[in-house]
Amino acid sequence: MSRARVVETRLTGWRAGLVWLAAGSSIAVMIVGLVVNSVVGPPQPEEPVLVVAALVLLVSSLGTVGALITTRQRRNPIGWILWLSAFLLGFGAVVRAYVTASIATAGGDLPGTAW
């Protein structure tokens, strides 16, 4: 494979930086969501530390591998699927923390809780 062909298939510049930024932010968002959920959540049996660690490891590995594949081979759908999965898992953790905080502190009156 020629050098021009390799450069053509890679995602470079600001696009690659954006993919890595989103992968890193999904990990950070997942951790923030889990912390907020554990601090504000209603009294319930605590999630085992192993489950929380497994979720953080899952999101970080999905985001890292997805971003790595996406920046190396931008047309490979597996990289985009893994990257998007990490982002959605992180987003889901934040939504869960928001709903839990809304129910625990405001009685479910915060906007979007019922939705």
The confidence band for 81, taking pLDDT boundaries of 50, 70 and 90, is: very high
Which tokens in the block code for residue 44? Answer: 């319930």
Q: Please tell me the distance from the alpha carbon of residue 99 to that of residue 105, in angstroms, as a whole number.
A: 10
Instruction: Write out pLDDT tens, residues 8-66.
Output: 677 778 888 888 888 888 888 888 877 777 777 655 566 677 877 888 888 889 988 98
Judge whether 19 and 70 are in contact, CB under 8 Å.
Answer: yes
Closest CA to 67 of 10, 1, 8: 10
